[in-house]
Structure 1
Amino acid sequence: MKLWSKALSVAAVAVAAVSLAACGNSSSKSSGSKDSKGKTVLKVTTWNYDQTPEFGALFKAFEKEHPNVDMQAVDIPADDYDTKVTTMMSSGDTTDILTMKNLLSYSNYALRDQLVDESSHIKKLDTKAAADTYKMYSIKGKTYAQPYRTDFWVLYYNKKLFKEKNIPDPNTWTWDEYVKYAKQLTDTSKGQYGTYQHIWRSTIQAIAAAQNGKNLLKPSYAFEKPYYDRALDLQKSKAQMDYGTAKSTKVTYQSQFEGSKTAMMYMGSWYMGALIQNINKGTTNVEWGIAPIPQKTDAKKVTTFGSPTAFAINKKSKNQKLAQEFLDFASGKKGAEVLAKIGIVPSYKTAAINKLYFGVKGMPTDSLSKKAFSPDKIAVEFPVAKDGPAIDKILQEEHDLIMTGDETPTTAIKNMESRVKTEEQ
């Protein structure tokens, strides 16, 4: 796969289902203690454990190599994950390993001195197969996490619904084509939307920044307006679920796509592993494919955005040595093999790993899906920065106001710029 060798230098099936002996916050055992069988407990923060197959697969594989270890998930709803982990850390929680969902949260914990400095240890490892990803975790020459997964955004589409409406496959559409066909794919009598856009600000702001060569840390956001205008138009025409409804009812993108309630949606590559798992479990029969995310113009080159995911060790962990062994396992060759076999894109990539990935049962192999796997540029969703968390909050707040109709895009963009400038002073 050419994509990450290109993109990261610019910026940045059968699935093994696992039932942990004690999953979530209900366990009474603390990190580093022993379970009822005398095994050492190693706790890891996760999100939506049952819908995120990578965690169970990695835990089970590590336990197989370390039979005296009991991996336990501290599971948190995805939308509440960063808030909950931040609260845990501020209260002195001793959970051993923290999953860094994105670079923004990583910088937050690292700059607060809540993570173990991995810099010296990483120098001893062979990280060539994931070198570009590791660069993204450098903060003033130090690294506090080890990446195990790398994702980028694509357009998922329901082949059956496309065929029913005689809509052509979305072969590198422009955004105008995306809007046009989303409206044609909408069927209000069946409660079917043409497209679904999740509530994250990145669904508009990150792709707008990527396709316009911009940095969200810099308070100049006029480039976002066309992206918001399109989203509001789709919402007004009922071709896209109302933002307020999606947020207030905590709608999941999985339910929308797997329940054929939407004909398409753009989402990260991480979803493929979970989707394949659910198809194999029989919880959905959606006939799916992927395509490149829509582009500004009818361009030959495809630009999207993405972000790596990593594990870090809590400085308050009482079992740091064992935690380090897990990080090395998950971020190295063995972990990459585990992930590739369940349709998750690992950060550690070689020709052999790629072969395993594309050999997963249920992975789409048509030419359009393969094209989606080779974007020309993948920009970092949100760079590491001291002011990152505060800026992210501002951008999310203004995003909410736009999408609920409380502010126009023009007004909100001006507010974003003035508020971020104030924050950076």
Structure 2
Amino acid sequence: MKIRSTLAVGLTAATVLALTACTGGGGTPDAGGSGPIDTSGELSGSIQFQTWSLKNEKFTPYFEALIKAFEKEHPKVKVDWIDQPGDGYQDKILSQANSNTLPDVLNLPPDIAFPLVKAGKLLDLAKADPELKTVYNEGGWEAYSKFSGVEGTYGLPWYLGSDESWWNLEQLQPYGVTEADLPTTTDGWLDLAKKVAQESNGKVQLVSSMPGLDTFVAADIPIMKDDGTFVFNTPEAVEIVQKYADAYKAGAMPPESLTGSYGGNAEMYLQGKVAYSTGGSGFAGDLRTKAPTLLEHTVATQRPGTPPLFVQGVNVSADSKNKAAALAFAEFVTNEKNQVDFAKIAVGFAPGTAAGAEDVVKAVESSVDPAQAKAMKVMFDALPKAKSTPFQWTGAMTDYLNQQMALAIRGDATAKDTLDKIVKYANDNRIDK
């Protein structure tokens, strides 16, 4: 089961505008709601529920039991479950929206949800049920509440993921670094990387990838204004990029990490070429399979600074003919009990509710690798403060950032000029304008 990161998909402005034009949306839509929706009375009728590549031998029994339980509670409601394949999901969603055939309840990450929100095709769930906010993970709730130019919340956090830090203590031990000494901030990590590189003559490297937007999120640097304008070319961001350049000059960073042929920091870590990597809790399984002796000397900690958040949500169509049943089912799918049961199967993911993570760890720790169980706890403990990268940040922006950042880290451009160029490119190519 893949982590469907909110960083993964970027929608073009043309696609957004085409959907808005076809559906009559635009401006700040009243996304399907004029006020609270009462789900406390008797519910009836049929609703359609659409998932994203989850109808298979692993998850089908869960969903069949979930639907059966809901229909038992509401015997006059019939839930029709449909599933779409992973490839082309975004195109399928846009096609459904354009043809007014969106399912009543569906699964959308924030980036794919955005054009539907702008076109008024999704229900404002904060307005439909004002008591929902406190039930869910704060960062997950915020990910569906930060659509520039639109008020409201358009998804219930369903299952969450994050990255953590992985450290090779065997490589660090000769330089006086123990688990208790591992840094908890971006600055501390870069300072340690430079120190260890200098003392080891570049043999031990702790920086194995270029700074990305998540680096600035982790450092609590403001990324965007409320209107969607990117603003992360701040003095604090300049200082971080310069620290990367200084670490590179000190030998703390492999030269290939600045090239297009770079295989990634996780692969470098598995090969023993770097002493630090980022990765989800499932990285423990990769270590067990590919580098079991390395696992013995590896510890996982929370990412320095603010951890990243990958979020999937459950959404309700604003055009649903049965909003009460649809909202009730969306809340049922994402309540704590059902999210915990789902996360027990989707091992490595956390429930999108504010509580329940401890229950997941207790349920799976006896059946997974001990290192993964420990890593899951580290990740789950970090989730209450985790933040997602803005959905407006696209793959093309990442490519441009990497090109420019390589120049800055090599010393061929200043950190300030580099960040100014990246921010200008991002604002010139915004998908929400």
TM over 0.5: yes
Number of aligned positions between the proteins: 348
C-alpha distance in 2 between matches for 1:402 and 1:328: 44
Q: CA deviation at 1:112?
A: 4.0
- Kindly indicate whether residue 263 of structure 2 is the aligned counterpart of residue 262 of structure 1: no
The answer to whether residue 150 in structure 2 is matched with residue 146 in structure 1 is no
2:216 to 205, 217, 233: 205
- Bigger mean CA deviation after superposition, 86-95 or 169-178: 86-95
The answer on whether the counterparts of 1:152 and 1:378 sit within 8 Å (CA) in structure 2 is no
Separation in structure 2 between the aligned mates of residue 158 and residue 107 of structure 1, nearest angstrom = 40
* Residues 350 and 380 in structure 2, CA contact (< 8 A), matched pair in contact too: no
- Cα distance in 2 for residues equivalent to 1:125 and 1:320: 17
Match of 2:314, as an amino acid? F
Shift of 1:147: 0.7
In 2, Cα distance between equivalents of 1:420 and 1:242:
25
Structure-2 separation of matches of 1:412 and 1:136: 28
Q: In structure 2, what is the Cα distance between the partners aligned to 1:59 and 1:259?
A: 37
- 2:417 maps to what in 1? 411
Residues of 1 paired with 2:96 and 2:166: CA distance? 40
| 1:262-291 CA distance string (max 9 Å, x none) | 321235xxx11x3355568x4653344222
Kept in 2: contact 1:149–1:344 (CA 8 A): yes
Check 1:118–1:264 CA distance in 2 against 1; reply closer, same or farther (3 A cut): same
Corresponding position of 2:18: none
Q: Which residue of 1 aligns with 2:193?
A: 179
For normalisation by structure 1, the TM-score amounts to 0.59
Q: Does 1:168 align with 2:182?
A: no
Point out the structure with max Rg over C-alpha. 2
| Distance in 2 (alpha carbons) for counterparts of 1:321 and 1:344 | 29
Residues in 1 aligned to 2:111 and 2:176: alpha-carbon distance in whole angstroms: 41
The answer to whether the 8 A contact 1:234-1:240 is kept is no
CA distance 1:375–1:121, change in 2 (3 Å): closer
User: In structure 1, what residue type is equivalent to 2:358?
Assistant: N
Which deviates the most, 217-226 or 235-244?
A: 235-244
TM-score (norm 2): 0.59
User: 2:85 is paired with a residue of what secondary structure?
Assistant: strand
The question of 1:401 aligning with 2:411 is answered no
Residue type of the alignment partner of 1:225:
V
Distance 1:164 1:134, change over 3 A: same
Which position in structure 2 is the counterpart of 1:25?
A: none
CA contact (8 A) 1:193 1:240 kept: yes
Partner Cα separation in structure 1 for residue 165 and residue 332 of structure 2: 31
Residue of structure 2 in register with 1:219 after alignment = 231
**Residues 345 and 264 of structure 1, relative CA distance in 2, 3 Å threshold:** same
Give the alignment of 1:52-71 within 5 angstroms: 59-66=60-67
* Identity across the alignment (%): 12
CA RMSD, 1 decimal: 5.2
In structure 1, stretches of 5+ residues that fail to align are: 1-15, 18-40, 50-54, 77-83, 296-302
